Structure 1
Amino acid sequence: MQSPQESPGPVAYLAGVGTALPGDPVDNARLAKAIGVNDEWIDVFIGTRTRHFARDLDSGEVRWSLADLCAQAGERAITAARIAPEEIEFVVMGTATPDHLMPATVNTVTDLLGLDQIPTYQLQSGCAGAVQALELGRTLITGGGYRTGLVIGGDVCSKHLDLNRDLSGAAPSDLVNYVLFGDGAGAVVLTDEPRGQGIAVRRVLNRFTGLGREPGQIIDWFGLADRHEDRQAVREDYKAIEESVPVIAEEILWELLEELGWTTDDVDFLLPPQLSGHMTRKITQQLNLPGAVEVSCVADTGNNGNALPFLQLDALVGQMTQGQRALAVAVESSKWIKSGFALEKA
């Protein structure tokens, strides 16, 4: 492995990672029984073994809010970074499933963390929101005059699970949302100098690529005027996702490598898109980095959106040694966003 290359200009460093998953894992047999489908279908079609839910499958009771999970993840990231909470100078959060339209969930999280008088930002996006939040946090560190900040991503998808609904005639685009997703949150502390894990964030890619394309996923919200309309809250074009995401993932990989001046041999760890167990395996094979260690979690956590890149990072940081490099690739199919980032252990 070649020695680390310094990027020109200021660098942001990943100092600590924290994650939070609600409750015990729910396996396919348990989920299949709750929603009335065959657990073998879940395994064959999705390839996800377990996931975590913020609400109880039997009673429907909400046990954790998104803010609860994000605050837990934030606390753990701060502890892992070995910094004092009062050193945090800003909080950035990405989510597709805020607890409320107002107040922004990031502000509730900041309150739960005991922080005050600091800037907060909430980005509304799917799984690319975590990367967008990382990019904003990195920009605030490298060009905004801040020394330490907290970047969070999380989603509570189980709010869309109607356990009383008869799914016997449900369309595949609807049914997939009952088995694909889970809940969770993750966070990282960013610093302007190597602290804690001391992992340099070398590049962040975030690019809209959906001009003229139909959305691959839509999540609706309902107001008082339209709450009784008979339409799905969550819709997926799974065929479009299955066809397009591997192609876009490969484009992201090569764009990052070209920008960095790295070769495929320079990559020690690959964090591939985490759509489902089966899709992740397919994409990893297509990206064809045989010398890189795959870092994936979706088969055990479910697709929990903006939490996923942080869950991958949590699994990664303990494995990296000085000079090693990692590439993360994430694709958002809602209106098609390319995203990813590159890390190097200082």
Structure 2
Amino acid sequence: MTLATTAHGRPPGGQSPVGVLGTGSYLPGHVVGNDEAGEPAGVDDAWIVRKTGIRARRWAKPDEATSDLAAAAGRAALKNAGISARDLSLVVVATSTPDTPQPPTAAVVADLIGATPATAAFDLNAVCSGFVFALSVVQRTLLASGGHALVIGADVYSRILDRTDRRTTVLFGDGAGAAVLGPTDAGRGVLATHLATFPAYRDLIEVAAGGSRRPASEETLADGSHYFRMNGRAVREFVAEHVPPAVHEMLRRAGVRPDEIDHLVPHQANAIMLDELTDALGLPNARLHTTVADYGNTGAASVPVTLDAAVASGAVRPGDLALLAGFGGGMAAGLALVRC
């Protein structure tokens, strides 16, 4: 296990704390209902709702790639933050469904939004925890160097789903969510982050082929190794065992009581799992924010998409304390405590 925890109530050297200055999201226009998603897998709307709480999801059009969704979300976040793409120090795209193996999807996004060559752009893959991992890495970088960054979570899972596999095809949607990070007022911003990876569980979620170990071939196409696979029951057990202790350890180190949390913005894995997780976390005053019923599991996009929805609804007020909780393939968990 690798573990990193930070608490930044007093940034070093008088540096301003780093906070979320604006959020944005983009969901493709094609709404896919449960009957359409479930028919190839032999399941119907009633079964999907009972098992997952999902009623619809969005799938990208044939001419839309991850970079297109990411750029649209990024532009929305920049507009809401009042920041120009030309002022960015960093563009980071968290994704496990990049446009291509090379170049990084972030380089495409930087070009699409009009960033300059002075903006460093790179991808980060921590699967569904990716946005929170990227937020943590960028926050620490900006604490040391200053500037502004655009952090995006984006995935197009519809391209890697086996439509006959009922365990996965009904769960996932496509989307992108983004946040602009930069200097904020004292007492606000990203107060703490906690990143953990449990590599012994890495085979619970995988795409087995298409990389350097098993390059795409006639054999991998024939056996479906290029499709996304997940052991749903084991993932549920992993989340129940490891995420609540990680949350409470981060709160303890940050000196924050569970009853001080105003908002819980978790990865939108499955509505049934989220209800179980919320009960296990024991955050009595936290409002749970969800988008899973309408958008499904959007991978690395789910936390920022849900955060943007919460902000846009007016539910999140200045001074509120929000807990962002990502978890997924690796297996990994990424947590962030943010004073809005």
Distance between the aligned counterparts of 2:179 and 2:202, measured in 1? 33
Alignment TM-score, normalising by the size of structure 2: 0.88
Deviation at 1:231, TM superposition (A): 3.6
Amino acid in structure 1 at the alignment position of 2:147: R
Partner of 2:260: 266
* Count of aligned residue pairs for this structure pair: 321
Contact kept? 1:272, 1:295, Cα under 8 Å: yes
Partner of 2:332: 337
Q: Identity over the aligned pairs, expressed in percent?
A: 31
Partner of 1:253: 247
Aligned residue runs from structure 1 range 204-243, under 5 A: 204-210=193-199, 212-213=200-201, 215-222=203-210, 223-225=215-217, 226-232=219-225, 233-243=227-237
Identify which of 4, 7, 11 aligns with 2:9. Answer: 7
The C-alpha deviation readout for 1:172-222, integer Å capped at 9, x for no partner, is xx3211101000001110112349xx9511112111123x34521111343
CA RMSD of aligned residues (A): 2.1
Distance between the aligned counterparts of 1:148 and 1:19, measured in 2? 18
Partner of 1:147: 147
Amino acid in structure 2 at the alignment position of 1:73: A
Partner of 1:171: none
Gapped regions of structure 2 (runs ≥ 5):
1-6
Partner of 2:166: 175
Give the SS at the match of 1:52: strand
Alignment CA distance shift 1:273-1:306 (3 Å): closer
Give the SS at the match of 1:178: coil
Give the SS at the match of 1:280: helix
Give the SS at the match of 2:180: strand
Amino acid in structure 2 at the alignment position of 1:256: M
Distance between the aligned counterparts of 2:223 and 2:258, measured in 1? 49
Distance between the aligned counterparts of 1:148 and 1:214, measured in 2? 33
Displaced runs of 4 or more, over 3 A: 33-36, 223-229
The C-alpha deviation readout for 1:204-258, integer Å capped at 9, x for no partner, is 2111123x34521111343354544414422111111121212222112201211
Distance between the aligned counterparts of 2:8 and 2:60, measured in 1? 42
Give the SS at the match of 2:333: strand
Alignment TM-score, normalising by the size of structure 1: 0.87
Distance between the aligned counterparts of 1:34 and 1:300, measured in 2? 20
Amino acid in structure 1 at the alignment position of 2:86: E
Distance between the aligned counterparts of 1:6 and 1:184, measured in 2? 31
Contact kept? 1:51, 1:181, Cα under 8 Å: yes
Write 1 or 2 for the structure with the bigger share of helix: 2
Gapped regions of structure 1 (runs ≥ 5):
56-61, 168-173
Identify which of 17, 27, 33 aligns with 1:21. Answer: 27
Question: Are 1:97 and 2:97 an aligned pair?
Answer: yes
Distance between the aligned counterparts of 1:328 and 1:228, measured in 2? 37
